[in-house]
Structure 1
Amino acid sequence: MRRYDDCIRTDGLCGACSMSSRGRDCRGNTINSVLHQRSLAGMTQSALAKAAGINIRQIQKYESGEYDTGNMTLKNAIALAKALGCEPGDLL
């Protein structure tokens, strides 16, 4: 899903876009760490949910900012990090 109508990426992965920097998309808007790490891993939300054993709705809430990643449970942080191939601290 493309975040912006005029996005130059066909896959819509703002977190992995060369025009973005960690934590910010090409327009300077915040991209949280779960979205960033998932984009770098080239995974869909569905694939991440399955690999981590976490409900896709939770991942959507982390990525949208509805849930604060700093308050995620240790169990979820470890499961997401393992699925994404990163450290749990990279998700906070």
Structure 2
Amino acid sequence: MKIDKDTVDKIAHLARLEVTDTEREELMGDMGKILDFMAKLNEVDTTGVEPLVYMTDTVNNFREDVLKQEITHEEALSNAPKHDADYFKVAKVIG
């Protein structure tokens, strides 16, 4: 498939990119190659082939969510530059 300058300009505009004339020519070639490859993939007979959700058969083994007290409340607050008795103090971010 042939990509023209208008198509490259429209895609560049949507992607908020500024392209020079040289880059536009390179992009036209690259995008044409990508679409040609996609056209070749469309020629492959996939009847009877189940769609893949994952590329491997690996199963994710989740661990149990176990509550552990790694440091105490006081130890956590002792590392904070600003804190009161119970909470970290941070700069106000919402007016």
* TM-score normalised over the length of structure 1: 0.21
* TM-score normalised over the length of structure 2: 0.21
* Structure in which a larger fraction of residues adopt helix: 1
